[in-house]
């Protein structure tokens, strides 16, 4: 028997294409006679467009059209949303300005340079109104939104929080804030739109959700869904920002319809700060109480976050509070404040990244108040069942994560007193935080084909957003069919293929991977049935459960010399190929359990005593996420998530001008993502975990598990080093210089 592919650290099957530059991204697809579009953005943050001067731009050589709300094709379906995950977009359908940089015109020209030149000449007059760009100026208008997601209700209550807090022996109350953050993927958002007549549309789009784009655009233009084809073979990062179609996708299609040309529209780096979502600012008030043994008795978590004037988005920070620790009494509430900004959206580990910073910082403060080691406090409050749902965990290895991570970082040598460890001018501290992410499974379809040459073609219309989907799906298919990697071709990225969910929420492997496994298993059964029924087969007449698959063949379990190759089975069948198409849904057994991944992050930091500079010297992350399909790609994802956490903790902060609501940090020169010099020695510990309930392949979500907890672990380590508690991210030197410990 060959060594299983699942669980092996196999190189990416698309790696050669990426390093040689032959991987084709959305904006690079060769389309005949393509024109180029450039968005002109509003220069006010709120009001109406009175007039647009476009005559000079339209007169330039090569300019094909200048589209505004006055002449753009009407698209009745452009306003509103088809489902809660959609964002309300602006597609030149009216004169209302909701936020700075909102599209007010689109210039189409025969070259990108001519389109850019013409766009620079378009000007507008506005009837402007005062704009509010920060929730601090409008806190009195905060409201509790209607529930849009049953898994994340805006208000929850269990037990008697007031009584619990009154009886607590240790108690803390504090406010924590997280800033606006912007996704900034390496590949810009881009779309090429091609109309075929008036009722067929092809989009080459950089998206995490090709079927979401098809659904939304078909509804906008009144087309049958099968008449909209979305193609996307590679994505250069998205982190949630490419999970739903934004204005530029609709504008590319509108421009293509108006001009009768294929149109390419790529969002610029400054426009990515405004047009494609962001993580919203949050203000989180937490109150925790514990008894004399350090057991939590009550938690109150009150969150306020921003949304736009025209749409609702809730950063669900309180979900982790309700389920991470055993606590009898908890109250949570999520409030929104409407300000003159674009609509926020999902950003890597939405809710958990922001919520764990507050919760895990507060738990650290409670540990000091109770006189307990911060890691010991977490152990004492370990939840044996999901406190929110009451269901047992499908699997949970958090205590092993604590143990392995603590051993790796040297937690046992940690001094309890703050400011007690010094190396020259540097103050040194250790911090810990817990991380978790729900592991969900969505309906997904896959098709498996066995060809006469004994090789398999496996297809699912998912997306590879850089996570290694091409590779892990090939591994899953190869094992199910007993084929080597080289004999499996996996195709994705096209709505002409079987439908799958978006590549968001860390559920691609659990959903699409399970569908691939099940489709390939069904194909293997078909091949077995053909062999059993065929008098010419060496396996003729055997029972199906007496046959194994091995090395591109079926073999008799009792006599392995009796074998029939896939190639021979298909050839004798007289069919061009044998196919199995299957849709997979979560099994009923799964609903009896709470399915989540867990982990622990440990940070060692140095803080310059005089300058307040923070350097993360080491990060250790121990994670348990069910069956690991490929340790190499898994480690890559976990490292990427931890780097995101470093950015959240120390550098990332999108800044708006409070007078105009205009984004000031408009490119990567001003918005500081971590670079190599910011990233220390990262150690990833993967905890072996068997989960028989999560799904047929035993996998949980992993891509977003390593971001929550990092910011809190770093903040807690900074406090341990300095005695200064920073509750407002990012942790910058000005918040440490001259600050009093405590």
pLDDT digits (tens, 9 = 90+) for 230-245: 999 999 999 999 999 9
What angle separates helix 514-533 from helix 469-481, to the nearest 10 degrees?
Answer: 30
Q: Of the candidates 323, 264, 400, 384, which has an alpha carbon nearest to the alpha carbon of residue 688?
A: 400
Q: Is 412 part of any domain?
A: yes
Q: Is 171 part of any domain?
A: no
DSSP 512: I
Q: Is 568 part of any domain?
A: yes
41, 105 Cβ separation under 8 angstroms: no
Q: Is 141 part of any domain?
A: no
**CA 291 to each of CA 175, 365, 369, 436, 715: distance values in angstroms, whole numbers, following the listed order:** 22, 15, 11, 25, 25
Cα distance from N-terminal residue to C-terminal residue, the chain: 62
Residues 6+ apart with CB under 8 A from 725: 174, 361, 365, 715, 719, 742
Query: pLDDT digit string (tens) for 295-304?
Result: 999 999 999 9
Q: Which of 551, 585, 619 is the last residue of a domain?
A: 585
Q: Which of 553, 585, 617 is the last residue of a domain?
A: 585
Q: Is 151 part of any domain?
A: no
Same domain, 606 and 562: no
Kindly give the pairing relationship between strand 488-491 and strand 456-459.
parallel
SS3 356: helix
Count of structural domains, the chain: 3
Residues 6+ apart with CB under 8 A from 595: 393, 394, 438, 439, 440, 441, 691, 693, 694, 700
Locate 595 and state its tokens. Answer: 């399915």
Taking the whole predicted model, whether its pTM rises above 0.95 is answered as yes
> Does residue 592 carry a pLDDT above 70?
yes
**Average confidence (pLDDT) over 522-536:** 97
Same domain, 597 and 581: no
Query: pLDDT digit string (tens) for 546-577?
Result: 999 999 999 999 999 999 999 999 999 999 99
Q: Is 48 part of any domain?
A: yes
Q: What is the CATH number of the domain that holds 512?
A: 3.30.365.10
Q: Is 43 exposed, middle or buried (0-12, 13-18, 19+ CB in 10 A)?
A: middle
**CA 609 to each of CA 222, 335, 421, 724: distance values in angstroms, whole numbers, following the listed order:** 63, 38, 12, 12
Residue 274 has a pLDDT of: 96
Locate 531 and state its tokens. Answer: 């062999």
- Domain with 577 in it: 443-585
Query: What percent of the chain lies above the pLDDT cut of 90?
Result: 96
> Does residue 269 carry a pLDDT above 60?
yes
Same domain, 608 and 537: no
What is d(CA 639, CA 683) in angstroms, rounded to the nearest whole number? 8
Same domain, 427 and 453: no
Same domain, 90 and 193: yes
Q: Is 673 part of any domain?
A: yes
Peptide bond into 730 cis (omega under 30): yes
Query: pLDDT digit string (tens) for 644-665?
Result: 999 999 999 999 998 899 999 9
Which residues face 177 on adjacent strands?
283, 728
What is d(CA 646, CA 253) in angstroms, rounded to the nearest whole number? 38
Q: Which of 563, 585, 607 is the last residue of a domain?
A: 585
Phi, psi of 596 (to 5 degrees): -145, 155
Catalytically annotated residues: 704
Same domain, 574 and 707: no
Same domain, 507 and 620: no
Vertex 475 angle, CA 242 and 27, to 5°: 30
Locate 205 and state its tokens. Answer: 């789009």
Locate 335 and state its tokens. Answer: 């409030």
> Does residue 1 carry a pLDDT above 70?
no
Same domain, 200 and 308: no
463, 208 Cβ separation under 8 angstroms: yes
Same domain, 311 and 197: no
Please state, rounded to an integer, the average pLDDT across all residues of the chain. 96
With the C-alpha atoms ordered 472, 475, 480, 481, is the resulting torsion angle positive or negative? positive
Q: Is 511 exposed, middle or buried (0-12, 13-18, 19+ CB in 10 A)?
A: buried
What is d(CA 600, CA 710) in angstroms, rounded to the nearest whole number? 9
**CA 541 to each of CA 330, 548, 600: distance values in angstroms, whole numbers, following the listed order:** 62, 15, 54
Same domain, 57 and 191: yes
Same domain, 453 and 476: yes
Q: Is 543 part of any domain?
A: yes
Strands of the sheet containing 296-307, edge to edge, are 155-158, 330-338, 296-307, 282-290, 170-178
476, 181 Cβ separation under 8 angstroms: no
Same domain, 617 and 700: yes
What is d(CA 354, CA 178) in angstroms, rounded to the nearest whole number? 7
* Res. 742 pLDDT band, cuts 50 70 90: low
418, 722 Cβ separation under 8 angstroms: yes
DSSP 735: G
């Amino acid at each position: 028997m060959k060594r299983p592919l699942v669980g092996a650290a196999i190189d990416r099957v698309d790696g050669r294409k990426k390093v040689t530059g032959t991987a084709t991204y959305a904006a690079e697809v060769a389309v005949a006679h393509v024109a180029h579009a450039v968005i002109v953005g509003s220069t006010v943050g709120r009001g109406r467009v009175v007039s647009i001067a476009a005559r000079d731009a339209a007169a330039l050589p090569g300019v094909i059209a200048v589209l505004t709300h006055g002449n753009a094709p009407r698209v009745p379906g452009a306003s509103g949303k088809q489902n809660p995950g959609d964002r309300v977009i602006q597609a030149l359908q009216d004169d209302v300005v909701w936020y700075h940089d909102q599209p007010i015109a689109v210039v189409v020209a025969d070259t990108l340079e001519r389109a850019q030149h013409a766009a620079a000449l378009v000007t507008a007059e506005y009837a402007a109104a005062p704009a509010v760009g920060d929730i601090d100026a409008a806190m009195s208008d905060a409201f509790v939104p209607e529930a849009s997601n049953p898994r994340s209700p805006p208000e929850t209550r269990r037990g008697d929080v007031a009584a619990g807090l009154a009886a607590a022996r240790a108690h803390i109350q504090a406010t924590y804030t997280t800033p606006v953050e912007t996704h900034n993927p390496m590949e810009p958002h881009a779309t090429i739109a091609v109309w075929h007549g008036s009722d067929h549309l092809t989009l080459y789009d950089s998206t995490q959700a090709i079927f979401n784009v098809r659904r939304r655009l078909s509804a906008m233009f009144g087309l049958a869904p099968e008449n909209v084809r979305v193609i996307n073979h590679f994505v250069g990062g998205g982190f949630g920002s490419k999970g739903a179609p934004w204005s530029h996708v609709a504008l590319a299609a509108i421009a293509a319809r108006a001009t009768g040309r294929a149109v390419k529209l790529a969002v610029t780096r400054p426009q990515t700060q405004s047009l494609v979502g962001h993580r919203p600012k949050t203000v989180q008030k937490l109150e925790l109480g514990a008894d004399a043994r350090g057991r939590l008795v009550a938690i109150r978590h009150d969150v306020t976050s921003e949304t736009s004037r025209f749409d609702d988005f809730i950063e669900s920070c309180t979900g982790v509070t309700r389920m991470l620790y055993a606590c009898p009494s908890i109250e949570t509430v999520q409030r929104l404040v409407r300000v003159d900004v674009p609509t926020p959206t999902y950003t890597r580990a939405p809710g958990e990244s922001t919520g764990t910073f507050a919760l895990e910082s507060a738990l650290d403060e409670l540990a000091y108040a109770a006189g307990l080691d911060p890691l010991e406090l977490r152990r004492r409050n370990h939840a044996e069942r999901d406190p929110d749902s009451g269901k047992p965990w499908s699997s949970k290895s958090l205590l092993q994560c604590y143990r392995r991570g603590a051993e790796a970082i040297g937690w046992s040598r940690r001094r309890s007193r703050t400011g007690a460890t010094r190396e020259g001018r540097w103050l040194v501290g250790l911090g810990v935080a817990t991380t978790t992410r729900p592991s969900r499974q969505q309906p997904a379809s896959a098709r498996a084909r066995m060809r006469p040459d004994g090789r398999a073609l496996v297809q699912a219309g998912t997306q590879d957003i850089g996570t290694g989907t091409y590779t892990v799906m090939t591994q899953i298919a190869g094992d199910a069919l007993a084929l080597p990697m080289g004999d499996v071709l996996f195709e994705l990225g096209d709505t002409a293929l079987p439908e799958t969910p978006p590549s968001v929420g860390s559920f691609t492997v659990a959903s699409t991977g399970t569908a691939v496994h099940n489709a390939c298993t069904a194909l293997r059964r078909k091949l077995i049935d053909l062999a059993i029924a065929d008098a010419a087969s060496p396996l003729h007449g055997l029972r199906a459960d007496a046959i194994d698959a091995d090395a591109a063949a079926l073999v008799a379990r009792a006599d392995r010399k009796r074998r029939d190759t896939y190639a021979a089975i298909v050839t004798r069948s007289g069919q061009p190929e044998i196919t199995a198409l299957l849709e997979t849904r979560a099994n009923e057994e799964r609903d009896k359990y709470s399915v989540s991944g867990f982990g622990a992050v440990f940070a060692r930091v140095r803080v310059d005593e005089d300058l307040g500079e923070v350097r993360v010297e080491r990060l250790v992350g121990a994670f348990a996420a069910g069956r690991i399909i490929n340790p190499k790609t898994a480690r890559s994802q976990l490292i990427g998530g931890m780097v995101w956490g470093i950015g959240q903790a120390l550098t990332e902060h999108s800044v708006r001008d409070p007078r105009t609501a205009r984004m000031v940090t408009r490119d990567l020169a001003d918005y500081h993502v971590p670079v190599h010099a910011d990233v220390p020695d990262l150690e990833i510990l993967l905890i072996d975990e068997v989960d028989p309930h999560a799904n047929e392949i035993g996998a949980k979500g992993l891509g977003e598990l390593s971001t929550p907890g990092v910011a809190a672990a770093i903040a807690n380590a900074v406090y341990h080093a300095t005695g200064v508690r920073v509750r407002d991210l990012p942790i910058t030197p000005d918040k440490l210089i001259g600050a009093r410990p405590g």
